[in-house]
């Protein structure tokens, strides 16, 4: 089994069996701890940043929400008029996203569970928010290539940046493997990804809010 497939399976097991309730609460308006509140706020900022890379009017556009989670990005894309393919490796999260989607947008969205890099048809844009953060450089580059083959404009995605803070947690995670098989974020230096993707990756901006640190990048096929 490839590194990509093994990591993908760990992500599926974690979000579908261990973290569904936590993720459902984090992506709702329910009260959460102070630490999780910073993560919620950071994710809100990142979602807005990624959406700023797409036209405000998406009528006539087809967008792949790759790693749709509980559906917040899906709902915003649909509200802009896009036809959305919302895919997540976790069937449980897909069902949450489906249930939360306002009825007025349901005709615009096709939900699916499975590999976000599989053939989901031709699209104008791909949004992959925090769904590639568990993969190494080789796997991210391969995923971008697969997605890019069916994308006419751009793939907007995030990675965990290679900061001292995240490198400390990553090193500790490598030294003490997690017994619950939960996936571990892999920090990346932009220069490494840029070279690996043959210069097709551009840096957009970084969001840092408490325990949420993520970098927005854009891949143009």
Domains of the chain, with CATH numbers? Answer: 3-219 (3.40.50.150)
| Strand-pair partners of 91 | none
On the 0-12 / 13-18 / 19+ scale of CB atoms within 10 A, 88 is: buried
> Is beta strand 151-161 parallel, antiparallel or unpaired with respect to 212-219?
antiparallel
Comparing CA positions, the residue from 187, 72, 79 lying closest to residue 134 is 187
* Per-residue pLDDT at 169: 54
pLDDT digit string, tens, across residues 106-118: 999 999 999 999 9
pLDDT digit string, tens, across residues 164-195: 666 565 455 544 444 445 678 899 999 999 99
Give the pLDDT means over successive 10-residue stretches in the chain (221 positions).
83 86 93 93 97 98 98 98 97 97 98 97 98 96 97 97 65 48 82 96 95 95 91
Both structure tokens of 95 = 């069902």
pLDDT digit string, tens, across residues 190-215: 999 999 999 999 999 999 998 899 99
Q: What is the pTM of this model?
A: 0.92
DSSP, residue by residue, 134-160: TS-HHHHHHHHHHHHTTEEEEEEEEEE
């Amino acid at each position: 089994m490839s590194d990509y497939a093994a990591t993908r399976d760990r992500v599926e097991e974690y979000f579908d069996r261990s973290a569904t309730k936590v993720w459902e609460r984090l992506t709702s308006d329910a009260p959460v701890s102070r630490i999780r509140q910073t993560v919620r706020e950071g994710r809100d900022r990142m979602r807005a940043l990624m959406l700023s890379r797409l036209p405000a009017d998406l009528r006539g556009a087809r967008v792949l929400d790759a790693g749709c989670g509980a559906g917040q990005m899906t709902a915003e894309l649909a509200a802009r008029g896009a036809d959305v393919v919302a895919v997540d490796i976790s069937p449980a999260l897909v069902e949450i996203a489906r249930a939360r989607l306002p009825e007025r947008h349901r005709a615009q969205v096709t939900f699916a569970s499975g590999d976000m890099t599989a053939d989901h048809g031709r699209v104008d844009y791909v949004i992959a928010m925090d769904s590639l953060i568990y993969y190494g450089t080789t796997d991210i580059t391969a995923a971008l290539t697969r997605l890019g083959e069916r994308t006419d404009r751009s793939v907007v995605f995030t990675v965990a940046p290679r900061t001292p803070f995240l490198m400390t947690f990553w090193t500790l995670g490598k030294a003490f493997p997690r017994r619950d098989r939960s996936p571990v974020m892999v920090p990346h230096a932009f220069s490494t990804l840029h070279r690996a993707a043959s210069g097709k990756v551009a840096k957009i901006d970084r969001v840092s809010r408490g325990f949420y640190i993520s970098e927005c990048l854009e891949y143009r096929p």
